Amino acid sequence: MSLNQQTQVSARGKKSFEVIVIRDRCKECSLCIELCPPKILERENSYNKFGYRPTRVTDNLKCVGCRICEYACPEFAIFVKEVKP
């Protein structure tokens, strides 16, 4: 069994998630980055349309689907989608 598969199973049973960032809405407030429990969010190095460096996801497989990022974001710029395996 590969490491990736092990991680997938440990995250909320058989569910897996994808974190989607709407780049041009992000204002770099970093709340999502700070609050994410598995710490899979970080700031990109490139700029969006408005001069902010948006959030990016480092590893969707580690996402536990808590949606803390989604709930915290004041700009509707990040949300979590459940991915059918």
Partner 1 sequence: MEITVQHPLERYIRSEKMPTTWCPGCGIGTVVQSFLKAIDELGLDPKDLVMISGIGCTGRVPHYLKFDGAHVLHGRAIPVALGVKLANPKLKVVVWGGDGDIASIGGNHLIHAARRNADLTVIMINNFIYGLTGGQVAPTTPKETVTYTSPYNPDSKPFDVVKLVAAAGATYVARWSTAYPVLLKESIKKALNHRGFSFIEVISQCPEIFGRINGFKEPYDLYLKIKKVGQIRRGISPFEAKYDWNEEISLGEFVNREEPTYLEQLEEIKKKARGEKA
Tell me: does residue 11 bind partner 1 (CB under 8 A): no
* x-marked contacts with partner 1 along 19-48 as a string, rule CB under 8 A: -x-x-xx-xxxxx--xx-------------
Cβ proximity to partner 1, 7 vs 30, nearer residue: 30
Print the SS3 string covering the chain. Answer: CCHHHHHHHHCCCCCEEEEEECHHHCCCCCHHHHHCCCCCEEECCCCCCCCCCCEEECCHHHCCCCCHHHHHCCCCCEEEEEECC
Binding site for partner 1 (CB under 8 A): 20, 22, 24-25, 27-31, 34-35, 49-50, 52, 70-77, 79
